[in-house]
């Protein structure tokens, strides 16, 4: 089977692991090749459903191989059905191949060596570690009050806040707040795995955290956390719906300004996030134990 995705989105690459696992479960155990941008290959390391990685440019589909094009089906479905989008992307991809999505959860697999590095980084933390996705590549999905939210989370948890962004931020220089900027994907995955909770708008950080079984507080705004998180095997929560405009979720046609995010106060988000954090206390130890129990003799997490 040859599965191709011609975009560079990290969140899409994470969700693609669900589609690949579902297709393999349905179509059998023939070798599976995923063709995606070189920069995203680290997402698929150690994944038990994937045998080979290549890029769309290199091609090379063997004769008789089942070909699945995951490049355009989502755009067609989402733009045609908005705002009544009810299917997540793994389901759309699998169904576009004429198969039934079996709800295989998206997964990122860390090796035992990587988990040991995570444990070393975590050290003797007895206070929670909260990750925050700072901004979306699409400005209309970005939470405008994120700096206030980060400071509120730091104060309310008494722990450490890890800020994930593609460049340094002013708030990242404060005590108890650390920045994670410009790291390779596998290093970034380890930093996310450190966290007890990820708080983020609709970004790749949500998908990476959920695929590592880190609980998520999803600041969804114009999109819909229930659709985005469908299929993930992880607890999540979201803010109350904004009803004044009557348009949430509006998906790719948001209000200007995006009132469902503009009107959402940092205290509401922080309180909801802390509530989820308390409900999932001890989750890091459980995730570590589960991952290491799945290690095989080759030393890789399957």
Q: Over 70: is that where the pLDDT of 124 sits? A: no
pLDDT number for residue 274:
96
Rounded Cα gap, residues 246 and 67, in angstroms? 42
Q: Mean pLDDT, to the nearest integer, of 98-117?
A: 94
Predicted confidence at residue 125, as pLDDT, reads 65
Average pLDDT, the chain: 91
**In this model, does residue 226 exceed pLDDT 80?**
yes
Helix (H, G, I), strand (E, B) or coil at 276: helix
208 burial (CB, 10 Å; 0-12 / 13-18 / 19+) is buried
How many whole angstroms separate alpha carbon 193 and alpha carbon 186? 11
User: pTM value?
Assistant: 0.94
Whether residue 298 is predicted with pLDDT greater than 50 in this model: the reply is no
Cα–Cα distance list, 100 to 21, 191, 197 (Å): 12, 34, 32
Res 152: pLDDT? 96
Tens digits of residue pLDDT in 130-164? 999 999 999 999 999 999 999 999 999 999 999 99
Are 273 and 80 in contact by the 8 Å Cβ rule? The answer is: no
Q: Is it the case that residue 68 has pLDDT exceeding 90? A: yes
Classify residue 46 as exposed, middle or buried by CB count within 10 Å of its CB (0-12, 13-18, 19+): middle
Which strands form 33-35's sheet, in the order they lie side by side?
A: 52-54, 33-35, 2-4, 67-69
Mean pLDDT of 269-273: 97
Residue 67's pLDDT is 92
Mean local confidence (pLDDT), 176-200 = 95
Give the pLDDT confidence of 97-106 residue by residue, as tens digits: 999 999 999 9
Q: What is the pLDDT of residue 290?
A: 77
According to the model, what pLDDT value does residue 61 have?
86
DSSP for residue 105: P
For residue 294, what pLDDT is reported? 66
Res. 256: pLDDT tops 60: yes
Asked if 222 and 216 count as a contact pair (C-beta separation under 8 A), the reply is no
Q: How far is the CA of 81 from the CAs of 84, 85, 101, 253, 255, in angstroms? A: 5, 6, 19, 12, 18
pLDDT band at 301 (very low <50, low <70, confident <90, very high): very low
Answer whether residue 296 shows pLDDT above 60: no
**Both tokens of residue 288?**
């570590």
Looking at the chain, the whole-number percentage of residues with pLDDT higher than 90 is 79
Residue 218 near residue 236, CB atoms below 8 Å: yes
Mean pLDDT along residues 205-210 = 98
Query: Is 90 exceeded by the pLDDT of residue 282?
Result: no
From the list 224, 192, 200, the residue with the least C-alpha distance to 146 is 200
pLDDT at 83: 95
- Domains of the chain (ranges plus CATH)? 2-96 (no CATH), 112-293 (3.40.50.2000)
107 pLDDT above the threshold of 50: yes
| 6 φ/ψ angles, rounded to the nearest 5 degrees | -100, 50
245: phi > 0 → left, psi -120 to 50 → alpha, else beta; which?
alpha
Residue range 228-242: mean pLDDT, rounded:
96
Tell me the mean pLDDT in the region 72-84.
95
Q: Give the angle subtended at the CA of 98 by the CAs of 96 and 102, to the nearest 5°.
A: 90
Average the pLDDT over 260-288 and give the result: 92
């Amino acid at each position: 089977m040859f599965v191709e995705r011609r975009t560079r989105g990290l969140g899409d690459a994470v969700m693609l692991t669900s589609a690949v696992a579902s297709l393999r479960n349905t179509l059998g155990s023939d070798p599976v090749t995923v063709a995606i941008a070189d920069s995203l290959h680290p997402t698929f390391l150690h994944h038990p459903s994937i045998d080979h990685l290549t890029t769309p440019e290199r091609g090379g589909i063997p004769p008789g191989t089942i070909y699945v094009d995951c490049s355009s089906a989502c755009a067609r479905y989402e733009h045609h059905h908005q705002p009544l989008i009810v299917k997540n992307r793994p389901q759309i991809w699998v169904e576009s191949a004429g198969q039934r999505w079996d709800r295989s959860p998206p997964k990122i697999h860390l090796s035992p060596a990587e988990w040991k590095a995570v444990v070393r980084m975590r050290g003797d933390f007895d206070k929670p570690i909260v990750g925050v996705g700072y901004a979306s590549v699409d400005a209309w999905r970005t939470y405008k009050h994120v700096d206030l939210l980060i400071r509120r989370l730091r104060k309310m948890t008494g722990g450490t806040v890890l800020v994930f962004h593609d460049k340094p931020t002013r708030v990242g220089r404060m005590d108890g707040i650390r920045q994670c900027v410009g790291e390779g994907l596998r290093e970034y995955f380890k930093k996310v795995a450190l966290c007890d909770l990820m708080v983020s708008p609709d970004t790749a950080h949500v998908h990476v955290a959920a695929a590592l079984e880190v609980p998520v507080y999803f600041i969804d705004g114009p999109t819909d956390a229930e659709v985005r998180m469908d299929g993930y095997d992880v607890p999540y929560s979201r803010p109350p719906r904004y009803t004044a405009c009557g348009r949430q979720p509006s998906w790719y046609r948001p209000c200007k300004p995006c009132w469902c995010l503009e009107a959402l106060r940092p205290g509401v988000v922080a309180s909801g996030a802390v509530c989820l954090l308390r409900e999932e206390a001890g989750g890091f130890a459980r995730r570590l134990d589960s991952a290491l129990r799945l290690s095989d003799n080759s030393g890789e997490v399957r």
